Homo-oligomer: A and B are copies of this chain.
Amino acid sequence: AMAGSGWARAVRGLLLDVSGVLYDSGADGGVPIAGSAEAVRRIKASGLKLQLCTNETQATRESFVRKLRAMGFDISVAEVTAPAPAACRLLKERGLRPHLLVHDGLVPEFAEVDTTNPNCVVLGDAAENFTYGNLNEAFRLLIGMEKPVLISLGKGRYYKETDGLKLDVGAYMKALEYACDVQAEVVGKPAKRFFESALAELGVPPEQAIMIGDDIVNDVGGAQQCGMRALQVRTGKYRPSDENHPEVKPDAYVNNLAEAVDIILQQL
């Protein structure tokens, strides 16, 4: 049905989610999804622009790209839009000094940021750093502020690693929101401002871009809110029940990135 509709003809650029689209993450560093590395090469050979748009907050972009390249993906650091650099810009604009509850691997992204005497909390996917002690520490800092400022790098519910599903940053965000009676500011998908940064880096307006992701709300819903079309892949965290989502309906489903690229390139 999708191939027949021809609506991909006007497309000039693709935004790709990474985990669950290019590879499945895990304690072992993750494994590429079959056909995805070849699909990235075909996108580039076709002349379409490409930007990765990820909520990855366990590593700096540099080390993230090293991992992708080791898995066979032809990607450079400039082709990655990620929450931590966006958060650094926001902190600077507003004179905020964060307490960081993030993964050890992400800390270098904040090297230029003043973290003394914190006046906000930045929450990322801290994984093993989500300890009872660290959560209480972040909570106490927030509840002690006259007007608590909680900045969350994404609001995903969970993600899939090779050894099973894991709670994502959004679950811990909700815990702190409830305890402090505040609303977090989300930097990352599905925030409109974050997709707009990715489109700016892609150099293509929303109506000529397609988002491809495995997350019905944060990838598909967020991109559609920005005026893009969006496909959901049936890899990664995709679950069949996503196809009955009460609010979000992708422009099409595809089995995986390779199939998405097949269909889009046929229409060009």
Report which of B127, B140, B158, B165 forms a contact with A132, defined as CB distance below 8 A. B127
Q: Are A165 and B178 in contact (CB under 8 A)?
A: no
What is the distance, in angstroms, from A62's C-beta to the closest C-beta of chain B? Answer: 25
The answer to the question of A172 belonging to the interface, with a C-beta cut-off of 8 Å to chain B, is yes
How many of A's residues come within 8 Å of B, CB to CB?
28
**CA gap between A128 and B131 in the complex, in Å:** 9
- Flag whether A167 is at the interface (Cβ < 8 A): yes
Copies of chain A in the complex: 2
Q: Check: A248 CB closer than 8 A to any chain B CB.
A: no
Question: A120 on the interface (CB 8 Å rule)?
Answer: no
Separation of A143 and B119 alpha carbons in the complex (Å):
36
For window 196-251 of A, CB contacts with B under 8 Å fall at none
Is A97 an interface residue, CB under 8 A from the partner?
no
Q: Is there an interface contact between A132 and B136, defined as CB atoms closer than 8 Å? A: no
* Residue pair B166, A136 in contact (C-beta under 8 Å): yes
Verify if A171 is at the interface (C-beta below 8 Å from B): yes
23 A-B pairs in the complex with CB atoms less than 8 angstroms apart: A127-B132, A131-B132, A132-B167, A135-B167, A139-B158, A139-B171, A140-B164, A143-B158, A143-B165, A157-B178, A157-B179, A157-B181, A158-B179, A167-B175, A168-B179, A171-B175, A171-B178, A171-B179, A172-B175, A174-B175, A174-B177, A174-B178, A175-B175
Q: Given A131-B132, A171-B175, A175-B175, 10 more contacts at CB 8 Å?
A: A127-B132, A130-B132, A135-B167, A136-B165, A136-B166, A139-B165, A157-B178, A157-B179, A168-B179, A171-B179
Q: Across chains A and B, which 3 residue pairs bring their CB atoms closest together, nearest first?
A: A171-B175, A174-B178, A175-B175
